[in-house]
Amino acid sequence: MAVRTKLVAGNWKMNGLRADGAALARGLAKRAIAAAHAGPRCELLVCPPASLLTTVAGALAGSGIALGGQDCHATAKGAYTGDISPEMLADAGCSHVILGHSERRHGHGEGDAAVREKVLGAWRAGLVAILCVGETQVQRQAGQASDIVAAQLAGSVPNGAAADNLVVAYEPVWAIGTGLTATLDDIATMHAAVRARIPAGARILYGGSVNPQNAADILGLAEVDGALVGGASLDAESFWTIARCCA
């Protein structure tokens, strides 16, 4: 079986003004460049708010750290006030875009069909889609977690998915920003279930309160191909410490 290089992605969410974003990106770039030969054995990606993409792209230049968006519209251009297109993200230097994050699904009413269209838009622009799936606390307690995740994958992964255009992020909704994490057993079980439903070689990240204390255990699981990190990605040292947990 081919080894899947782990991917550690920072989701900055709606945080940071230009000075903050530039400082955080410079802090990461400095560490990545200094550790070029002995650094973390993983790919690194940061997903800042749209207003910071250009600033962060500049600060990351030459570091090998990739840039991603946090969401996009499905369409290339048009009368969609407030939206950003996949082509605009690519033009700003992005290689990836997070899609179907629970804060979009639950906060903005995005369903699987809409997410699926966005994935197709991302591919049209040459972006890798980081597709988020995950159950709520109520769904897990009702024993529905794997059915919910299976349904999200069935509804939002288009034909044409491949190891080089799709990353799945399993993020239990109840673990996001709460300090709660799924047990290692539950993570391994869910990742194995996801693995059976996506193209061979596609990576599966875990997300939900990943931090420097729990990252080694989570990233040490064979079924975990990386992490999608929210709060702990807003500090260069803590994000770097997480990345270094990739053995």
Tokens of 66: 């990739």
> Which of 93, 177, 199, 212: binder of ligand PGA (CB under 6 A)?
177
DSSP lists the bridge partners of residue 46 as 10, 67
Q: Give the interface segment with ligand PGA, choosing from 19-27, 88-96, 114-122, 225-233 (CB under 6 A).
A: 225-233
Sort residue 160 into left (φ over 0), alpha (ψ -120 to 50) or beta. Answer: left
Q: Give the interface segment with ligand PGA, choosing from 18-26, 78-86, 160-168, 230-238 (CB under 6 A).
A: 230-238
CA proximity to 60, closest of 126, 135, 10: 10
Closest CB to ligand PGA among residues 14, 38: 14
Which one of 43, 96, 171, 191 is the catalytic residue?
171
- Compute the distance between CA of residue 233 and CA of residue 229 in angstroms, rounded to an integer: 6
Closest CB to ligand PGA among residues 40, 87: 40
> Which of 40, 68, 86, 231: binder of ligand PGA (CB under 6 A)?
231
Closest CB to ligand PGA among residues 70, 85: 70
181-210 positions binding ligand PGA, by CB under 6 A: 207-210
Sort residue 226 into left (φ over 0), alpha (ψ -120 to 50) or beta. Answer: left
Q: Is residue 71 near ligand PGA by the rule CB under 6 A? A: no
Map residue 200 onto helix, strand or coil.
coil
Q: Is residue 171 near ligand PGA by the rule CB under 6 A? A: yes
Closest CB to ligand PGA among residues 21, 134: 134
First to last CA, the chain: 18
Q: What phi and psi, each to the nearest 5 degrees, are found at residue 45?
A: -145, 140
Q: Give the interface segment with ligand PGA, choosing from 78-86, 111-119, 146-154, 226-234 (CB under 6 A).
A: 226-234
Q: Is 101 a catalytic residue?
A: yes
3-32 positions binding ligand PGA, by CB under 6 A: 11
Q: Give the interface segment with ligand PGA, choosing from 34-42, 114-122, 170-178, 187-195 (CB under 6 A).
A: 170-178
- Compute the distance between CA of residue 53 and CA of residue 57 in angstroms, rounded to an integer: 6
Count of residues interacting with ligand PGA (CB under 6 A): 13
Q: Is 171 a catalytic residue?
A: yes
Asked whether the beta carbons of 204 and 194 are under 8 A apart, the reply is yes
What b-and-e string marks burial along 175-191, b requiring 16 or more CB atoms within 10 Å of the CB?
bbeeeebbeeeebbebb
Which one of 73, 96, 101, 191 is the catalytic residue?
101
Place of tokens 């605009």: 88
> Which of 176, 182, 202, 224: binder of ligand PGA (CB under 6 A)?
176
Residue 17 DSSP label: -
Using CB under 6 A, list all residues that contact ligand PGA: 11, 171, 176-177, 207-210, 228-232
Active site residues: 101, 171
